[in-house]
Amino acid sequence: MQSVAIFPVIIYFWSGKRKSMDVFSVLWCRVTKRKYFLVFLAILAFTAHLYSFQVKAENGYRLWLRYDLIENPVLRNKYASAVRYIVFPQTTETCKVAFSELEQGLSGLLGFTVPLSDKVHKNGAILAGTISSDPEIARNVSVQTAESLGKEGYLIRTGEVNGKKCILIAANSETGVLYGVFHFLRLLQTHQDISALNIFSAPALQLRVLNHWDNPDRRVERGYAGFSLWDWHRLPGYIDQRYIDYARANASIGINGTVLNNVNANSIFLTSLYLLKVKALADVFRPYGIRVFLSVRFSAPVELGGLSTADPLDHQVKEWWKQKADEIYRLIPDFGGFLVKANSEGQPGPQDYGRTHADGANMLADVLAPYGGVVMWRAFVYDNRSANDRAKQAYIEFKPLDGTFRKNVLVQVKNGPIDFQPREPFHPLFGAMPNTSLMMEFQITQEYLGQGTHLVYLGPLFEEVLSSETYACGKGSSVADILEGKCGNQSLTGIAGVANTGTDINWCGHPFAQANWYAYGRFAWNPRITAEAVAEEWLRMTFSNRDEFVEPVKKMMITSREAVVDYMTPLGLHHIMGYSHHYGPAPWIKDAPRYDWTSVYYHRADSIGLGFDRSPNGSNAVSQYLSPLREEFADPDRCPEKFLLWFHHVPWNKKLASGRTLWEELCLHYCRGVDSVQQMLNTWDSVGKYIDHERFTSVKMLLDIQFREAVWWRDACLLYFQTFSQQPLPSFCPPPEHSLEYYENLRFFYVPGN
Ligand code: GCW
């Protein structure tokens, strides 16, 4: 915009007749002469170009890595005097990308190119590098500190070299330095004080990976942001700039691994042709500290190797996998390993041959071990054999295997025992397998949380799960403690997030879905961070540093998770979404090939009440939790209300803590959820003036959709449950727009991600 404003000024001075003629008269004189007219057009075109660039630049592509000029000149000058030059020997590819990020970031934020120097000679240097390779850095970092930084940690400290004040960004590895650079830029992006820095940061978990559910045809299972980022057809020859920007974004939040393909895996990824494509991506990601992994189909030896079996104890099968591992590591020496979904939802697995999950996982682990690779074996299993409760099956199958997995196996457990619902209690396997490396699986893509159109910030969900009390090693042992290996004998630690990225220009579809990618990375690095702190960082980097914007929008983000729980599945309800595509409400689903694919299986509504009885009188799933949590969950009067209908079948007229009956409370939550979305809309309207029009409008349209869909959820669910409660809607709930029949007859085709 500033460039447009300069235009009349140029004309004014160019006229040379400032006193006698106004700008428009001058313009008129000049344009009558052809050559001036051409100059005029050129200036106009240039200005228009600058203007259009500025508008387009806010399409969200840059994510949180926006390095726009810091507008406040006082702050900018303060930073500029602290970072007058950079001393950063670039000996490796990782150092090169770290330096280029630092240079690019600083020049954008400060408005000038900060020069590179080979030594600290005056105040105001940024001195970046590894501790072992730079004696100046080494002098500033004690051996003890260096040790505690580990492989990927870093420090950012105001120090002194040759008697000159400088900012040190140091680590044991180049990747650590890269992480430090991103952190340092974040300080500037969020306008922090950098005059006396003493930051020390190391990741709490070793493996911090994204799981892409991307298929070879580029469709993304449960993806709501376009097609897969991986252009398999043009790989390995064509390297899309997106791959590099993807790596930058991940490195900026400490993600160090990516599983490229869907857990419902296609064996094609293990063919020699595709491994070359995988190698091309691995080569792009390597400088950013990101290793690639593949989801593998357990029956690949049959499909690709022509064997008659995939039995993990069969000699030929083991040999086939060994040869495959050798081939992979010849191409990709730092290949991360395999992710496996076995004997779940129709996928092949060791149980097809009468073997256990451990037999399958260990066989693969053995072929990867010589190369340092790992197996991430998923515990998301359920089938027709799950006697009386799907929620219990993973525990039943896996707990007896505790202690039998190889050291390089991690069992990957979803955050809750069913399936990424808006709210679930934590998975009871956390705390049940002290001799196994357990890793967390979160879903960043919003399969069950409004998919591509609802603004739902997942930070509070991550925080709630990670801080849940498990009693695994006495009172005060959280899920985070277990993940970090503080509560058992884990040899490896890790966390996975099912990615929400795609080819949409802004990567994630909904502008606020970017916050969930960001938050996942920040929680993976530090499971004890708060959702609020993360939201604030993200907002400042992604939109604006103005408090008038940040404060209300942060509040909106924090409440958005409770809002979706309220208007979809309050009080512990779960899995009542549309059949298969999971879009919209469908509590009435009762005919499906399997009972546990219906909604009635999960909510159990009848004339007496609502909810799944998982107490000792019911399926007794509560017994999978440790005492005293088990007893708390088992008692309907002590069970937290947010999980009430998860664990209990509660009579419609039972009085809850508020004094309201279950029916009244249910109505209150559904109606409150809609009100919250209205509040979100109001908040957004009030902050429009602080941000660019493009993203403002995009979010506004999406919030309008979210509001209509929240109303739809409320009305459809209340009308349906009312057929059981047989009670009127309380006065605080507006009358539904349509009949129950209308909602039941809605049909949706081509829902994305299905
Ligand atoms: O929730 C279900 C999803 C499936 C997914 C599965 C899983 C990849 O609806 O789409 O399959 O979970 O996690 O394996």
Per-residue model confidence as pLDDT tens digits over 678-689: 999 999 999 999
Q: What is 207-542's CATH number, 3.20.20.80, 3.40.50.300, 3.40.109.10, 3.20.20.140?
A: 3.20.20.80
* Greatest alpha-carbon span in the chain: 97
- Given this model, what pLDDT does residue 388 score? 87
Are 661 and 653 in contact, with CB atoms under 8 Å apart? yes
Report helix, strand or coil for 155: strand
Q: Say if ligand 1 is within 6 A of residue 221 CB.
A: yes
Q: For residue 324, give both structure tokens.
A: 């495959």
Nearest residue (CA) to ligand 1, atom 13: 380
Q: Say if ligand 1 is within 6 A of residue 597 CB.
A: no
With tokens 């959702």, the residue in question is: 531
Q: Can you list the residues of the chain whose pLDDT is less than 50?
A: 1-24, 26-29, 31, 48-56
- Given this model, what pLDDT does residue 42 score? 57
- Given this model, what pLDDT does residue 552 score? 98
Q: Say if ligand 1 is within 6 A of residue 380 CB.
A: yes
Task: Given the residues 326, 345, 548, 685, select the one marked as catalytic.
Answer: 345
Q: Is 7 exposed, middle or buried (0-12, 13-18, 19+ CB in 10 A)?
A: middle
Q: How far apart are CA 272 and CA 334, in angstroms?
A: 17
Task: Given the residues 214, 424, 447, 664, select the one marked as catalytic.
Answer: 447
Q: Say if ligand 1 is within 6 A of residue 263 CB.
A: yes
Q: Say if ligand 1 is within 6 A of residue 394 CB.
A: no
212 alpha carbon – ligand 1 mean position (Å): 12
Nearest residue (CA) to ligand 1, atom 7: 380
Q: Which secondary structure element, helix H or strand E, spans residue 52, and what is its range?
A: helix 34-56
- Helix axes of 547-568 and 693-725: crossing angle, nearest 10 degrees: 30
Are 593 and 345 in contact, with CB atoms under 8 Å apart? no
Q: Say if ligand 1 is within 6 A of residue 213 CB.
A: yes
296 alpha carbon – ligand 1 mean position (Å): 15
Show me where the domains of the chain are located. 2-52, 73-201, 207-542, 566-612+649-744
Nearest residue (CA) to ligand 1, atom 2: 419
Q: How far apart are CA 215 and CA 63, in angstroms?
A: 24
Nearest residue (CA) to ligand 1, atom 1: 419
The pLDDT tens digits of the residues spanning 45-65 come to: 555 444 444 444 599 999 999
Q: How far apart are CA 479 and CA 582, in angstroms?
A: 28
CATH architecture of 566-612+649-744: Alpha-Beta Complex (3.90)
262 alpha carbon – ligand 1 mean position (Å): 10
Nearest-atom index, ligand 1, CA of 447: 9
CATH 3.40.50.300 assigned to 73-201 = no
Q: Say if ligand 1 is within 6 A of residue 419 CB.
A: yes
Task: Given the residues 366, 419, 504, 562, select the one marked as catalytic.
Answer: 419
Nearest-atom index, ligand 1, CA of 420: 1
What residue ranges in 373-519 does DSSP mark as E strands?
A: 374-378, 409-414, 437-443, 494-498
List the beta bridge partners of residue 496: 209, 441
- Active site (annotated) includes residue 447: yes
Give which of 360, 390, 363 is closest to 378, Cα–Cα: 360
Q: Which CA distances in Å does 8 have to 19, 20, 25, 47, 376?
A: 16, 16, 12, 11, 63
- Active site (annotated) includes residue 419: yes
Q: Say if ligand 1 is within 6 A of residue 231 CB.
A: no
Are 410 and 492 in contact, with CB atoms under 8 Å apart? yes
440 alpha carbon – ligand 1 mean position (Å): 15
Are 102 and 65 in contact, with CB atoms under 8 Å apart? no
- Active site (annotated) includes residue 174: no
Q: Which secondary structure element, helix H or strand E, spans residue 283, and what is its range?
A: helix 272-285
36 alpha carbon – ligand 1 mean position (Å): 65
Contacts of 500 (CB under 8 A, 6+ apart): 223, 224, 225, 444, 445, 446, 508, 509, 513, 516, 517
- Given this model, what pLDDT does residue 46 score? 53
Global confidence as pTM: 0.93
List the beta bridge partners of residue 155: 170, 200
